[in-house]
Amino acid sequence: MKALKVIAVLFLLAASAPSRTASAQETRVRWFGHAAFSVTTPGGKVLLIDPWLKNPSNPEAGEGKDALASVPKVDYILLTHGHRDHVGDAVEIARKTGAVLVSNPELAANLVKLADFPAKQAQTDAVMGIGGEIQIAGGEVTVMMTPAVHSSSVFNPKAGPGEADRAYGGNPAGFVLVVRNGPTIYHSGDTAYFKDMETIGEEYQVDLALLNIGGHFGMGPRMAARAAKAVRARLAVPQHYATFPGIAENPNEFAAELKTLKIPFREPRPGETLSFRGRQLLAR
């Protein structure tokens, strides 16, 4: 009987070992609402894109809650452009976590000068420009900065009376992230549709496209679906909607368009995580 128990325990240990290894090889993409996502690599590095974590869609934000508590470890903060709904809580998170900034040089410099972003974390090789390709996370992630048709300015809390409260934020951008042993992810930033998005689809195998669908300030649902097609997304996920007045309230029209284009679609709830093993989305 005792021997049987030992065998059973050994069997359980053997059975659980591979699944532990497998989960360590997963890439986890979590949506916080609006344009804010975290990407946790198989190696355990955490990238935050456009971290407005205190946005009203985030279930972990709001009265009496600490929205930043859900990201105790952040290695990199990637900013598509300087608008407040994208810079969000970047300065506070950078101070708390020591995360390094990935953005264009003008935005990096002005965040340091005007918003007290920690200088050392904004003056590294991770400052880059559109068309550039860099490696971060010890080479585990390759980051390409892609064009975006939008604007970019950075809020200047130090502006005096008679001074503009928006400073130059460099060119707006999107990102392609190639995760080693993980998916290739495209975050479109706050762009309009542009036909050269097709180049992204030609150059990269986009497993996951995180597309702004809100309209008004950028592409709306119909053109966002066209963007999914242009970048040849294996899976399209909507972002930048239902957060403030004037932008799309839900992704229904986007979903309907994707259906006609036969592009797979997921609509995560804010706070939800999509997990990938290799390039493959894991079922919930």
- Min CB(256)–Zn ion separation in Å: 23
Instruction: Work out how close the CB of 245 gets to Zn ion at its nearest, in angstroms, rounded to a whole number.
Output: 13
In sequence order, which residues have a C-beta less than 8 Å from that of residue 7 and are 6 or more positions away?
none
**75 vs 190, beta carbon nearer Zn ion:** 190
Do residues 240 and 190 lie in contact, with contact meaning Cβ atoms separated by under 8 Å? yes
Q: How far apart are CA 4 and CA 193, in angstroms?
A: 64
Q: Is 190 exposed, middle or buried (0-12, 13-18, 19+ CB in 10 A)?
A: buried
Strand partners, 38: 30, 48
- Residue 50: CB atoms within 10 Å: 30
Residues in the chain: 284
Q: How far apart are CA 84 and CA 35, in angstroms?
A: 11
Which residues contact Zn ion (rule: CB under 5 A)?
85, 190
Smallest separation (angstroms) from Zn ion to the CB of 240: 6
Strands 173-179 and 166-168: unpaired
Q: What minimum distance in Å lies between the beta carbon of 160 and Zn ion?
A: 26
Of 88 and 183, CB closest to Zn ion: 88
Minimum gap (Å) between residue 203 Cβ and Zn ion: 25
- Closest CB to Zn ion among residues 190, 207: 190
Of residues 75 and 85, the one with the C-beta less far from Zn ion: 85
What is the rounded distance in angstroms from the CA atom of residue 38 to the CA atom of residue 270? 12
Tell me the DSSP string of 208-237. EEEEE---SSS--HHHHHHHHHHTT-SSEE
Residue 11 CB, shortest distance to Zn ion, in Å, is 52
Query: How many CA atoms lie less than 13 Å away from 9 in the CB half-sphere?
Result: 6
Q: What are phi and psi of 215, to 5 degrees?
A: 70, -170
Comparing CB distances to Zn ion, the nearer of 175 and 204 is 175
Q: Report the nearest approach of Zn ion to the CB of residue 83 (Å).
A: 5
Q: Which residue number, 89 or 190, has a Cβ lying nearer to Zn ion?
A: 190
Are 193 and 219 in contact by the 8 Å Cβ rule? The answer is yes
By beta-carbon proximity to Zn ion, the closer residue of 182 and 270 is 270
